[in-house]
Chains A and B, each alone.
Chain A
């Protein structure tokens, strides 16, 4: 297995994997801050404005043309939450010069481009350009309003919001709709400067390069203050559930969306993390899992019925799309699966299948630059260094007792159901 080499330039941690396996250079910059009521919306809006123009390319059209000239370099960003942090991730994906007759060196041009986007935005009277802030406020508003269009995603996010109603984690990573209008170029710029000073920055590069080359290029590319890198705080995983909360919401839908949220009380850094991955896998991670077999194959209640684990927050969510009249039946069957796992009703077949599937996933990671980056970033986030190979060994060693222990720690917290407007 190839490993990342580590380095540091001022406040930015560097992670470089030299490899000739890909036809591109994959670049990711992560910038994380604790999720907070006051900063969440501005932190979300900032990257939208940053991608409008820089000091050397102040007009968006020229900014986009530059990307086309770099052989259609992929450029994008994402804002999401992990643990109790709000993370902005910028990505660039550019062709290795070897395959094209480029007149500019593509890796250094791309890093310079990204460095400018993040640290040298175009300004007007010492703050962000007003025109860009206004337009991107509209874009962010539309993004938040459009969540409802995708009912699967909407139901998943609503379930999370209800479940974590008393924690910062209830906040949407894109912020709060009702706060957008009050943001000004001044207030946004001042939050942006604080973000530059305080966020934890991690720059990843995977491709045919070296740490020396990336360090030299990054030093030129990012105009960022000297200092030491910030680190992430790990949220507490222990969470006592007293009563299961049930929420029913009505909308014009054909299909009901049933979502259940559980507290696993196990985190990414915990010894039992491998067992909790196995628990999720046997419960609902795959087409051989209990949820798929019992909700879909045996009862024909749903097309999808699956579970997902968030190790950084210790949450497990179950999602299914069902006929509205089948709500009670589906909830009963899902609860039966949770109970059967607590009772230790696990077969060797389920154990072996799930181990094989997780092992396959961990090995496959290495064929994708971005997946290797995402996996490695887990270590930065959680403070727990564990290579894919080490996790694979842990998975192999998980016993039925480990899974039962994890199953008994997990607590159902919230049941959320999105249904139609008709009277029941």
Chain B
């Protein structure tokens, strides 16, 4: 067991990698009632073509990681939610581009709940019948998102940017693709990606570290896992250019929703370099477009944006892009204004005072995040799967210089890399 002291934020982390490869992290939070645990696999919607060791690569149906997440909750004894409920735990799971996370939060029976979490995720139970039954439920989940304009404008942007990379495929897949899923393919994905060496257990809250490690060690010692070769993920070559500079989706909305994004040409970063890339990009976006920027206030004054306007930077080893946007009566005028402001910033650089404010804001936001066990577990796992350490963020924000952010600015804004996604109402407006 390794002890990691993060003095700046007054947190201590305990870490151990078990013999079977499972990484376990415990963060005791004194005075907290609840314990929050996540059991995550580095397997998400983008992992749709893969091989283990020297096996032949397989291409699996879109949406299968998410489908698998749904099916894990079923055990021969019934639904695992019932077991958690009997133990007073609130359980859930989610699938993102690059990971699937199972979780619970509880204030009592922590050992029993931890065992339940580990055991159900390490025990797949798929039958033809239970796989078929799930299709109707997931079809309704997909239809729910089809009606959600915020989701559609975001995924519209990614789809506009990426030709081949599977990030442009909806996490849940399509109604057609999920109907191709069968139990054999589910088992294949399960066996590849749910091996302990591809997983991370994070426990945070009112626990004692040694007790958690003891429980997990004993639990894992009762199970056998075949050693597994390296997982290889195959992604088709992604061109540098955006696929479609402007994508328009029709939905009944009160005002158009627009998102602009710049697709990064340079990818392949990992670990500390990736973290620094993220920090400088986010500071740059906040200094340019945050609520205290001159641009934001002007655009708001002229009714071109509303409180929904914001920015995001989405980065991983093999894709990275910015997202800028919100609701606007006039997407093209908004883009014109943003373009002018960006070109001005490219000439003059970011105002030093704005940079310092953004820095303070990010440091404050980071410390506030540490109040939430859910956020800590979520962010830690996300960064860990990219070989970065979330607890390095504070000192990175503190050390980041204006020069680094200005370099980032000049590198990022290339208008050839711009894609636009718009959701607007159909021409004949039927809403009453």
Contacts and interface: CB of A to CB of B under 8 A. Distances in A.
A52 B195 CA distance: 54
A254 B107 contact: no
Contacts of B31: 19-21
Contact of B370 (A23, A72, A287, A293): A23
A100 B89 contact: no
Contacts of A286: 81, 85, 90
Contacts of A252: 251-252, 426, 430-431
B360 interface: yes
Contacts of B297: 60-61, 64
Interface in B74-112: 79, 81-82, 85-91, 105-108
B177 interface: no
Contacts of B361: 67-68, 71-72
B371 A22 contact: yes
Contact of A254 (B108, B147, B306): B147
A102 to B, nearest CB: 9
A69, A303, A349, A369 — most chain B CB neighbours (10 Å): A303
Interface in A51-75: 60-61, 64-65, 67-74
B137 A302 contact: yes
A66 to B, nearest CB: 9
Nearest to A364: B34
Given A251-B252, A357-B85, A360-B89, A135 B292 contact: no
Interface stretch (B53-61, B138-146, B208-216, B402-410): B138-146
B69 interface: no
A413 interface: no
Interface in A244-269: 249-255
B144 A69 contact: no
B327 A146 contact: yes
A23 B361 CA distance: 15
B128 interface: no
B4 interface: no
Interface residues of A toward B: which range? 35 or more
A67 B292 contact: yes
Nearest to A360: B88
Interface string B35-55: 000000000000000000000
Contact of A253 (B10, B147, B294, B372): B147
A149 interface: yes
A401 B89 CA distance: 26
B291 A356 contact: no
A171 to B, nearest CB: 20
B101 to A, nearest CB: 17
A297 interface: yes
Nearest to A152: B144
Interface residues of B toward A: which range? 35 or more
A19 B254 CA distance: 45
B371 A23 contact: yes
Contact of A357 (B8, B90, B254, B364): B90
A148 B33 contact: no
Given A93-B368, A149-B254, A323-B140, A72 B362 contact: yes
Contact of B301 (A72, A135, A359, A366): A135
Contacts of B105: 360, 364
A301 B136 contact: yes
A345 interface: no
B79 A69 contact: no
Contacts of B141: 303
B363 interface: yes
B303 A135 contact: yes
Interface string A107-148: 000000000000000000000000100010011001101101
Contact of B81 (A131, A253, A287): A287
Interface string A287-302: 1100001001100111
A146 B360 contact: no
A21 B32 contact: yes
Given A251-B431, A302-B140, A72 B254 contact: no
Interface string B8-39: 11100000000000000000001111100000
B401 interface: no
A139 B137 contact: no
A151 interface: yes
A148 B147 contact: no
B368 A255 contact: no
Interface string B294-334: 10010011010011000000000000000000010000000
A64 B32 CA distance: 33
Contact of B133 (A300, A321, A361): A300
Given A65-B357, A150-B148, A367-B34, A142 B255 contact: yes
B292 A64 contact: yes
A22 B34 CA distance: 14
Contacts of A368: 371-372
A210 interface: no
Contacts of A95: 364, 367-368
Nearest to B252: A252
B360 A71 contact: yes
A382 B362 CA distance: 39
Nearest to B302: A135
Nearest to B358: A68
A315 B141 CA distance: 27
A159 interface: no
A363 to B, nearest CB: 4
B140 A72 contact: no
A151 B147 contact: yes
Interface string B146-176: 1111100000000000000000000000000
Contacts of A70: 364
Contact of A71 (B86, B150, B253, B364): B364
Nearest to A281: B85
B90 A353 contact: no
B255 A138 contact: no
B365 A255 contact: no
Contact of B363 (A65, A71, A321): A71
Interface in B267-309: 290-292, 294, 297, 300-301, 303, 306-307
Contact of A349 (B82, B291, B300, B357): B82
B140 A287 contact: no
B146 A255 contact: yes
10 contacts: A61-B294, A64-B291, A71-B364, A135-B303, A142-B306, A149-B149, A151-B147, A252-B251, A287-B91, A367-B34
Interface of B: 8-10, 30-34, 79, 81-82, 85-91, 105-108, 133-138, 140-141, 143-144, 146-150, 205, 251-255, 257, 290-292, 294, 297, 300-301, 303, 306-307, 327, 357-358, 360-365, 367-368, 370-373, 426, 430-432
